[in-house]
Chains A and B, each alone.
Chain A
Amino acid sequence: MIESHIPALIALTFVVFALLIPAFGVWRTEYSQPLSVIGSGLAAVFSLVGFLNYLNEGSLRYFFGGWEPPIGIEFVYDGMSAFFVLVINTVAFLVLIHSRQISKMEFPGKEMPYYSLAMLMLLGFNGMILTGDLFNLYVFLEISSLSSYALISIGDRQAPFAAFRYLIIGTVGGTLYLLGVGFLYTVTGTLNIIDMSAMLQLSEIFDNSAVFAALILMIVGIGVKAALFPMHGWLPDAYTYASSTSTALIAPIGTKVAAYILFRIIFWLFSIDITDAIAPVSYIVGILACIGILYGSIMAIAQSEMKRMLAYSSISQIGYIIMGLSLANPLGFAGALLHVLNHAVMKACLFLVSGNLRMKEGHSDISRFDDSYRKKYPWTMASFSVAAISMVGLPPLAGFFSKWYLALGTIDNENWLFLAVILISSLLNAVYFFRILEKVYMMNPKKDQKEAAEAKKNEAPASMLIPTSVLAIALIVIGFANAAIVGFLFNIFPV
């Protein structure tokens, strides 16, 4: 009974909690964070139920108000969206648990609007994933973007300017996407993705040059949100200056959802044949992703601030996902989607670690890290090590397997350039993560023995430590369970 309403319930949960939080917040601000945890937890449970339902009964199309598409609006709950919704809601749930202490420190008194906006942003992301309608997707895109501009602007002194630059470039991206939708609408007369993709197969429609223009406009527009290489300029500042919670919430989720839209557009809406009919679009996107991978890794090495380093590393990791998309074979597809899961967990874990350090030390500046950290923060640094090693891609941690399948995908396509990029960037990843591990674990104890002896265990509170550790353990579990996950991902590859 409830299973058939899951798609609407997920979106509805976030709407209800986005309104409940201000309603309670006017008299009790401290209820905001628990309410947001309940909201995202409920959504995570719904997405788990929906995911199990998908495994048993296959994909689900939810028609709003009983109006069948193309007239009505629908939510599509197929394997791809079930997987994404489950990943982002679970990660968001853990990050919101973690945020209790740090939100009191970083923006005291602003919890009520903050968590309400966080719910709205998650509503936008879930809506983008679930919707089967191109214009609806634009509206959800703007809901999530507008909330994330506001969330990013809460933070350091420079945060509003970083948010403003993101707003300008993000809105241009959204508007270009809307123009692309307009082109497609004039050609096909429908906005429903399934309906439109059936029409685009007809030769008299895809011979129209407007279709190709629409494809490019949509890829550029969504590429801005995904921080695809030339459009990545907003990302480092936005992630660095935003408060720890905002970064931990937006970084693992936001760019992945944009990558999901690219998957939907290229594989489901246009299909790979039409995408590459006029120009090798998917190959060009892959080349851009490769440049992004190398650029992000090299810039990450040059950073001394941990959050900024992780931000550049995000640019590089999103490149892997989009590279997997451009390979357009089942191995690359599975690798890319597995990397979505892995990167969401790894990046959330790493940003939570930087949040723990900011909470306890007041900074996350790598040059000031020393060996006392391993005594002061044993669990935080252990989680960091797991996530960092997974990021570099050493077996048996999760990060190895996504890179492995991506590498197999490049070999399958005989695309040696992409394979070389994967290998080189893994080495670069090792450079920028191992320098932190070296400082914390390998260096000789300080000359000043007195200070070293004084370093006692000063771990972050349990509400922050548990989400961090759960994410780190999840990386090990995903690593061992990768065969099951990849088997599932092979099944949802659109032929």
Chain B
Amino acid sequence: MVDFFLGHYAYWFTIILMCVGLYGILFKKNLIKKTIGLAIFQASVVLYFVSIASKWGDVAVTVKDYNIPVEDVSNYLNPLPHTLMLTAIVVGVATLGVAFTLLIAIYNRYETLDEQELIDKMK
């Protein structure tokens, strides 16, 4: 049991991060804070992908360790999830860019970023 908890510690942190992000998205009233929650939520999935790539006692592909033969793939971590996440990070940055642009447009029109106030002003 203890092994299960300690052996997967990276995943526990990912789950906590994901819950923090979801909490921000669902319960924060300020739109900037919602956006921050969204960024945390996306980061948690990125970290999940990064952690599935690693193994105990492995070496990154870019580190050339002469003690480990190149054919011995099991000693190297899997580079594919890392490269995938480079794209996902870019997507996340673009999402934040669009989100903040929209927030600027909202603020210029309504002069508030509080969700409840916005809904009241729209009626």
Interface locus among B1-9, B42-50, B55-63, B64-72: B42-50
Could you tell me the distance in whole angstroms from the C-beta of B47 to the nearest C-beta in chain A?
Answer: 11
Could you tell me the distance in whole angstroms from the C-beta of B20 to the nearest C-beta in chain A?
Answer: 14
Chain A residues near B25 (CB-CB < 8 A)? 168, 172
Check if A157 is an interface residue, CB within 8 A of chain B.
yes
> Hey, what's the 0/1 contact readout for A155-182 against B, CB within 8 Å counting as 1?
0011011011001100110010011001
Residue of A nearest to B52 (CB): A186
A interface, size bucket: 20 to 34
Could you tell me the distance in whole angstroms from the C-beta of A300 to the nearest C-beta in chain B?
Answer: 21
> Hey, what's the 0/1 contact readout for B78-102 against A, CB within 8 Å counting as 1?
0001001001100100110011011
Could you tell me the distance in whole angstroms from the C-beta of B16 to the nearest C-beta in chain A?
Answer: 15
State the CA gap A310–B120 with chains docked (Å). 25
Q: Which of B52, B95, B99, B101 contacts A142 (CB 8 A)?
A: B95
Could you tell me the distance in whole angstroms from the C-beta of A117 to the nearest C-beta in chain B?
Answer: 11
Chain B residues near A186 (CB-CB < 8 A)? 52
State the CA gap A171–B22 with chains docked (Å). 12
Instruction: Contact check, A172 vs B38: say whether CB atoms are below 8 A apart.
Output: yes
Q: Which of A135, A146, A149, A172 contacts B41 (CB 8 A)?
A: A172
Chain B residues near A168 (CB-CB < 8 A)? 25, 34-35, 38, 99
Instruction: Contact check, B91 vs A139: say whether CB atoms are below 8 A apart.
Output: yes
Chain A residues near B101 (CB-CB < 8 A)? 150
Instruction: Contact check, B105 vs A153: say whether CB atoms are below 8 A apart.
Output: yes
State the CA gap A290–B99 with chains docked (Å). 33
Instruction: Contact check, A160 vs B94: say whether CB atoms are below 8 A apart.
Output: no
Check if A185 is an interface residue, CB within 8 A of chain B.
yes
Instruction: Contact check, A167 vs B99: say whether CB atoms are below 8 A apart.
Output: yes
State the CA gap A325–B97 with chains docked (Å). 36
State the CA gap A135–B81 with chains docked (Å). 10
Could you tell me the distance in whole angstroms from the C-beta of A278 to the nearest C-beta in chain B?
Answer: 22
Chain B residues near A175 (CB-CB < 8 A)? 41-42, 45
Check if B10 is an interface residue, CB within 8 A of chain A.
no
Q: Which of A149, A172, A182 contacts B102 (CB 8 A)?
A: A149
Q: Given A142-B94, A153-B102: A171 and B42 within 8 A (CB)?
A: yes
Could you tell me the distance in whole angstroms from the C-beta of A391 to the nearest C-beta in chain B?
Answer: 29
Could you tell me the distance in whole angstroms from the C-beta of A415 to the nearest C-beta in chain B?
Answer: 35
Chain B residues near A160 (CB-CB < 8 A)? 102, 105-106, 109
Determine chain B's interface SS by DSSP, over half rule: helix
State the CA gap A164–B38 with chains docked (Å). 12
Chain B residues with a Cβ closer than 8 Å to the other chain, count: 30
Interface centre among B48, B88, B102, B109 (most CB of A within 10 A): B102
Residue of A nearest to B14 (CB): A179
> Hey, what's the 0/1 contact readout for B105-123 against A, CB within 8 Å counting as 1?
1100110000000100010
Interface centre among A142, A157, A160 (most CB of B within 10 A): A160
Q: Which of B22, B84, B87, B98 contacts A167 (CB 8 A)?
A: B98
Instruction: Contact check, B45 vs A167: say whether CB atoms are below 8 A apart.
Output: no
Q: Which of B42, B48, B118 contacts A161 (CB 8 A)?
A: B118
> Hey, what's the 0/1 contact readout for A332-347 against B, CB within 8 Å counting as 1?
0000000000000000
Residue of A nearest to B104 (CB): A160
Instruction: Contact check, B95 vs A161: say whether CB atoms are below 8 A apart.
Output: no
State the CA gap A135–B38 with chains docked (Å). 20
Residue of A nearest to B35 (CB): A168
Instruction: Contact check, A179 vs B45: say whether CB atoms are below 8 A apart.
Output: yes
Chain A residues near B95 (CB-CB < 8 A)? 142, 146, 167, 171
Check if B19 is an interface residue, CB within 8 A of chain A.
no
Q: Given A161-B122, A164-B103, A171-B38: A178 and B52 within 8 A (CB)?
A: no
Instruction: Contact check, B102 vs A146: say whether CB atoms are below 8 A apart.
Output: no
Chain B residues near A135 (CB-CB < 8 A)? 84, 87
State the CA gap A135–B86 with chains docked (Å). 12
Instruction: Contact check, B34 vs A182: say whether CB atoms are below 8 A apart.
Output: no
Q: Given A157-B109, A185-B52: A164 and B84 within 8 A (CB)?
A: no
Chain B residues near A146 (CB-CB < 8 A)? 91, 94-95, 98
Chain B residues near A171 (CB-CB < 8 A)? 38, 42, 95
Interface centre among A146, A149, A171 (most CB of B within 10 A): A171
Chain A residues near B45 (CB-CB < 8 A)? 175, 178-179, 182
State the CA gap A160–B102 with chains docked (Å). 6
Q: Given A160-B106, A161-B118: A149 and B88 within 8 A (CB)?
A: no
Could you tell me the distance in whole angstroms from the C-beta of A184 to the nearest C-beta in chain B?
Answer: 11
Residue of B nearest to A169 (CB): B25
Residue of B nearest to A157 (CB): B109
With contacts A149-B102, A157-B109, A164-B31 known, what are 15 further pairs, Cβ within 8 A? A139-B91, A146-B91, A146-B98, A160-B105, A160-B106, A161-B102, A168-B34, A168-B35, A171-B38, A171-B42, A175-B42, A175-B45, A182-B49, A182-B81, A185-B81
Listed A/B pairs (14) with beta-carbon separation below 8 Å: A135-B84, A142-B91, A142-B95, A146-B94, A149-B102, A163-B102, A164-B102, A167-B95, A168-B34, A172-B25, A175-B41, A182-B45, A182-B49, A186-B52
Give the 9 A-B CB pairs with smallest separation, nearest first: A160-B105, A164-B102, A142-B91, A160-B106, A160-B102, A186-B52, A179-B45, A175-B45, A171-B95
Show the binding face of A for B, using Cβ within 8 Å.
135, 138-139, 142, 146, 149-150, 153, 157-158, 160-161, 163-164, 167-168, 171-172, 175, 178-179, 182, 185-186
Show the binding face of B for A, using Cβ within 8 Å.
22, 25, 31, 34-35, 38, 41-42, 45, 48-49, 52, 81, 84, 87-88, 91, 94-95, 98-99, 101-103, 105-106, 109-110, 118, 122
